[in-house]
Structure 1
Amino acid sequence: MTTGPHVVVVGAGAFGTALATVIAETGDSRVTLLARRTETVAEITSTRRNEPALPGITLSAGLEATADPHVLKDAPIVLFAMPSQAQGAAARDLAPHLSDEAAVVVCAKGMEKASGRLLTDVLAEELPRQHVAVLSGPGFAADIARGLPTAMVIAAAALETAASLAQALSGPTFRLYPSGDRIGVQLGGALKNVLAIACGIVEGAGLGDSARAALISRGLAEMSRFVADHGGDAATVTGLSGLGDLVLTGTSHQSRNLRFGIELGRHGNADGWSGDLVEGAFAAGVASRVAAERNIDMPITDAVAAIIDGKLDLATAIGRLMTRPITQEF
């Protein structure tokens, strides 16, 4: 018998399915995965698999699945695990079904493309009665679903809310650290995708591991400036949602952002890319535009955005970065 809160995970992609199964494995809470397609629900119910999202992985026996949004009405914790650009529309569609007391957790890494707003701000506008939190950090969906040790961050406006959510969602293999810095946690998660693309460009172009290390270090400096300018704590980017996530996605070929960057580095464009959605490709242009508007120095982010848009070739980008005025590191 479960004693914890009812947790609903919205979005039956790889990350949403992984979160749902690892939380269900704790056995403390009733966990429901809310999918769009009835076929997905039928597959999970009958086979304990979601092959299109997580091939070869058996899901928790305690995980329920449904396509009926009415399941949200009695859920005090709801995780939004759809892509970043779909979060606002999902909030509008599901708002009538949500409890006023629900905590809604953003589980996507990005910024709204049109406005440059944080996703928690987008959801707070659509869901003014609910608490809006954010989950971010280094964790590949397949690793989480297989029960491999993973640590991430959950941030809310009130640290007490974050701590309560961390306690409810953590388990033997999935540990959440609470934070009160929603700005820093979100921007770290969004910008590390851009820097992971840059790491891929370095690898694809054969520029060497020394260049990757320099890029990670200077990329963190860009992230800290961006976070501080937006009112977050610059130190947050040295934690799991910044440095931790960047080390993971900037070095592992499980990262689609890294693989996308490798394609750019090898060919100078992504015309041959046929993989899944790349969140960093959205975030690069948004962050570069916002940085220009706010006069934040973001040379690596600017270069990645320009290469993706076809406005800058790789050789010129490298030349510009390496001939910038020499200044103190800090």
Structure 2
Amino acid sequence: MFKKIAVIGAGSWGTALAISLSNKGHNVKIWDINEEHIKELEENRENKRYLPGIKFCDNLRTAENIQEAIKDVDIVLFSAPAQHFRNAFENALPYLKPEMVLINVAKGIEQKTLMRLSEIAFEKLPDAKYVVLSGPSHAEEVGLAMPTTVVSASNDLKLAEYIQDVFMTERLRVYTNLDVIGVELGGALKNIIALGAGISDGMGFGDNAKAAMMTRGITEISRLGVKLGAKIETFSGLSGLGDLIVTCTSMHSRNRRCGIMIGEGKKPKDAIKEVGMVVEGMFTTEAAYELAKKAGVEMPITECIYNVINEKIDAKEAVNNLMTRQKKHETEIFF
């Protein structure tokens, strides 16, 4: 049965999912806090700013305000950047009804509070029917209906399966998972490693360096995740290793592109400006660095990237610091 769905946030990922859902037959309304952007979407019937060339079908309409977007829907999908998720959720809160299923697709950790996005949602709405959708999924490819796999995660398996059915198409395959903590952390923390992979590329290093960055990166992601209550097997899945691979290797990745420019010698703030869109890894690095200290978990790659983007050390010094660390046993994950 087709559903009524509101999409809050009309960036590239929110638009791509809105296109996929509406093409499947669902009735979708999309809204964004940027009024001018919404007017452009309605006028052009495509997102020329973030996802050009992909036309909207008749099932995808824009909404003038958040109340209009959410009114009488079955599902509310939040696609605001991670650092704006709290504000988006609070704006929607007066119009949410208990029977609505809430999905979040942003990947990040809130700065200052160090909260995962589901923690923010449950703080505001303890009985929320909440699902996380994550995985290796560039908006540009989903919008074009290229084969993609993602994971639907919830503390309630029936909810995860419900969203699985809503999103599944011949080109978008959805798996389920009960490990919300692991799925959220995998999706957020891989952006840090993608920055590092980009820095490595920008410095002219080869495949060996990138493979090392990715492999040791997933190790420290897993280390923090397990300490915070996640299941280690989640980090071998779509929202862990899968998302890490795609974000570290693709030029669709804003985090990798930003890292490349930093590795080439650009100032971090100038690299962000040149990317022209939100680089979640810059915020997540700050939050993860603090979270790791608070949890007493060693995350050497995260620490080095934190120091580079805050201009405490340069990229060459970061490489030296990582390569000359005290020798370790490879599977010494939790020590």
Which of the five TM-score ranges fits, normalised by the shorter chain?
over 0.9
Secondary structure, aligned partner of 1:15: helix
Corresponding residue for 1:280? 281
Q: Quick check: 2:251–2:257 contact (8 Å CA) kept in 1? A: yes
Corresponding residue for 1:293? 294
One-letter amino acid matched to 1:130 = A
Secondary structure, aligned partner of 2:176: strand
Q: Quick check: 1:135–1:152 contact (8 Å CA) kept in 2? A: yes
What CA RMSD, in Å, does the superposition of the two structures yield over aligned residues? 1.4
One-letter amino acid matched to 2:328 = T
**Is 2:58 the counterpart of 1:48?**
no
Whole-angstrom CA distance in 1 between matches of 2:73 and 2:127: 14
Secondary structure, aligned partner of 2:88: helix
One-letter amino acid matched to 1:309 = N
Whole-angstrom CA distance in 1 between matches of 2:54 and 2:66: 25
Secondary structure, aligned partner of 1:44: helix
**Is 2:239 the counterpart of 1:241?**
yes
For 1:52-63, list aligned pairs within 5 A. Answer: 52-63=49-60
Secondary structure, aligned partner of 1:272: helix
Report the CA distance between 1:263 and its aligned residue.
1.1
Corresponding residue for 2:316? 315
Report the CA distance between 1:268 and its aligned residue.
5.9
**Is 2:71 the counterpart of 1:73?**
yes
Whole-angstrom CA distance in 1 between matches of 2:4 and 2:263: 45
What TM-score results when the alignment is normalised by the length of structure 2? 0.94
Report the CA distance between 1:127 and its aligned residue.
2.2
For 1:94-243, list aligned pairs within 5 A. Answer: 94-243=92-241
Q: Quick check: 2:118–2:130 contact (8 Å CA) kept in 1? A: yes
Q: Write the deviation string for residues 230-287 of structure 1: whole angstroms up to 9, x where unpaired.
A: 1011111111111111111101111110011011111063243222211000001110
Whole-angstrom CA distance in 2 between matches of 1:59 and 1:84: 25
Q: Quick check: 2:114–2:291 contact (8 Å CA) kept in 1? A: yes
**Is 2:33 the counterpart of 1:36?**
yes
1:25 aligned residue (15, 23, 28): 23
One-letter amino acid matched to 1:34 = W
Corresponding residue for 1:14? 12
Report the CA distance between 1:315 and its aligned residue.
2.1
Q: Quick check: 1:36–1:67 contact (8 Å CA) kept in 2? A: no
Report the CA distance between 1:164 and its aligned residue.
1.0
What TM-score results when the alignment is normalised by the length of structure 1? 0.95
Equivalent pairs: percent with the same residue?
A: 36
One-letter amino acid matched to 1:259 = R
Whole-angstrom CA distance in 2 between matches of 1:258 and 1:184: 22
Q: Quick check: 2:121–2:128 contact (8 Å CA) kept in 1? A: no
User: Gapped runs of 5+ residues in structure 1?
Assistant: none
Secondary structure, aligned partner of 1:25: helix
Report the CA distance between 1:123 and its aligned residue.
1.2
Report the CA distance between 1:301 and its aligned residue.
0.6
Report the CA distance between 1:229 and its aligned residue.
0.5
Secondary structure, aligned partner of 1:267: coil
Q: Quick check: 1:48–1:61 contact (8 Å CA) kept in 2? A: no
